[in-house]
Structure formats: structure tokens, C-alpha cells
Amino acid sequence: MNKNYLVTGNDEYIREKEVSKIKEKFLSGEEAELNYSAYNPEDIIGIMDSLGTMPFLAENRVVLVKESQALSDTCADTILLYLENPSENSVLILSSDDSHKKNKRYKKLSSLMEVVRADKPTPQTIKSWVRAFFKKENVDITPEAVDLIGELKGQDTSGIKAELDKLIGYSGGERIEVKHVEDLVGRSVTETVFKLVDAINGRDPKWVLRVLRDLYDQKKQPPEIIGYLGWYIRVIQKIVLLRAKGMDIAGIASEVGYSAGYVRRLSGQAKKYSIKRINRWIDLLLTTDRDIKTGQKQGDLALEMLLVSLVES
């Protein structure tokens, strides 16, 4: 059995979860205290010393190398040499983002280790996670609330987990609906969206990019920001269509599941959007999301190009 693992992918949260699963497979909680070590990639002496040390009162010793894409050629060659004849009592885990694939030694490493993927999940996978999380907690959640969590948080897996924990505490065991997600998850999100949308509607690219820099300073990532904009334009679309049917603010609020005051604020912004402009936004968002997910464009560049296009739309 191969007891050496290459955990690779661009989702740091999922990488951490996969590393934890491997660690728990080979060590109990008590065993881990004396038989688990984590190293930075430059500490090759510590890594090799741990791999060569017999486990203490356990069958295995687990050694993790974090951010292994940063291994120097010399350190990578040392690990490759070890993997030709690895210790039967040691488990080596290399945790890396996908930039590792560009290294000429990646193919050799992946042939000597079990590769565990840690890719960013699809929207459907995220929804399945959310439903499974609340089922485990014995709390009901509406399909619309699940959809909104996905729209607001995008592929931010660690952020989603934090919001789910908050929703559990907030719900008190009661059924979670759209209004609860908006109140808790969307409180900071909506302010973020409004600042960005105000800049877009002002048709000032420099203002838009200043707001974007502020969002990056808050550790927001391109997929998350795109998710915010997607949620915003879909709500605007609903309001425009319902208003065209002659529905008043109270009726729209009831239909979309938000407070009347909140819908009133959005309704004021919706007056700036024709059906043609809404469809243009949706097309641009879908194209940008696809370009990022397929690797055709880097996230930050794709987002900046999207925002400039939205200003011009």
C-alpha cells in the first residue's frame, strides 16, 4: 500500500480537509501528539529526520510538507530519492497548489505518490455540501436559501463553512429560509455589492478599481466578488420583472423573500436597468466565470476586464 500522498489543488480549505483525513487514517488523536510533524518546504533536514525516525508507541509517523510547490530542486530531488525506498513506518504528505504541475519533477512525484485532488467545488457540489451539513445538524433549510448561500459565497469553501456555523447558531433549530441567509450572510455582502455597483453605475472605471482594491484588502477573491455581482443582478432582474407586472413594494418583498425596506433600496437601483442591460450583465458574468474556471484567464485580470465591461454596458 502506498503511504505517501500528494494533495494538490487550488482550494486551500479542501487541501487542509484532505490532509486531516489522511492524518486521521494513520494516527489516533493521542498518537498524533508524538508522531505528527509539519514542515515548511525549505526545512529538508527536519523533513528527512522525521521520515527516518521510528514512530513512538504507534505504527506510523506522519510527516506533512506544507506549500510543497515551493520546494527547491535540491529538496525535491532529496524527496524523490527517499520515495524510491520509503520507510514502511512513515507517511509523507506533500500539500501543494496546482502551480506544482509546472515543475518538471511533478510527474515523477505523482508516479511515486498517491495523488489526492483538492479542486474548487462546482456549484452543485457546494449545494450538496450545504444540504448535507444542515441534515447532519437536523435543521431544515429551503432550496432557495441553499441557492442564495451558493450565490453569495461562490467557491469560497472556508467562508461557506463559517457562514453555515453562524446560521446554525442563529436558527436555534428552526427552519432556515432566504430571509435568514440575507440577514446573516448577506449583511456585509450587500454593503460590499452596493459600493461596487454604485461605482459601476457611476461609469467611472477609476472609482470601480479603487473599490476593487478595497475588496482585495478585505481578502475578497475574484470568484467571491463575481458571486456577489451575480446575486445582485438576479435580484434586480426579479424586481424589474415583478414591477412590470404592476406589483408594489410589499408584493415584491413577499415574492422575493426580503424585507420591504431592503427591496425599496434595490428597487431604486433597478430603475437603472433595462432587460437588455440585465441580460448583458448575466452574459458577461457567465463568460467571466467560465474563463476563470477553465483557466483561460487569471482571476484578477478576468475580474478587472469584467468590471470595465459592466461600466460600459
55 and 159 share a domain? no
Which residues form the domain of 175? 123-312
> Residue 248 sits in a domain of what CATH number?
1.20.272.10
Chosen domain end from 69, 87, 117: 117
64 and 112 share a domain? yes
23 and 164 share a domain? no
Split into its structural domains, the chain has a count of: 2
112 and 131 share a domain? no
131 and 279 share a domain? yes
Chosen domain end from 117, 138, 171: 117
> Residue 79 sits in a domain of what CATH number?
3.40.50.300
149 and 245 share a domain? yes
38 and 153 share a domain? no
3-state secondary structure string across 95-159:
EECHHHHHCCCHHHHHHHCEEEECCCCCHHHHHHHHHHHHHHCCCCECHHHHHHHHHHHCCCHHH
162 and 258 share a domain? yes
- Stated pTM of the model: 0.57
Measure the CA–CA gap between 155 and 235, rounded to whole angstroms: 20
Phi–psi pair at 237, nearest 5 degrees: -60, -45
Chosen domain end from 77, 99, 117: 117
252 and 153 share a domain? yes
Could you list the pLDDT tens digit for every one of the 313 residues in the chain? 678 999 999 888 889 989 999 999 999 989 999 999 999 999 999 999 999 999 999 999 999 999 999 999 999 999 999 999 999 999 999 999 888 777 788 889 989 999 999 887 887 888 888 999 999 889 999 888 888 787 667 677 777 888 888 888 877 788 888 878 877 766 556 666 778 888 888 888 888 888 888 788 777 788 878 888 888 888 889 899 998 898 888 888 877 766 677 788 788 888 888 999 999 999 999 999 888 888 888 888 999 899 989 988 7
251 and 297 share a domain? yes
8 and 147 share a domain? no
133 and 88 share a domain? no
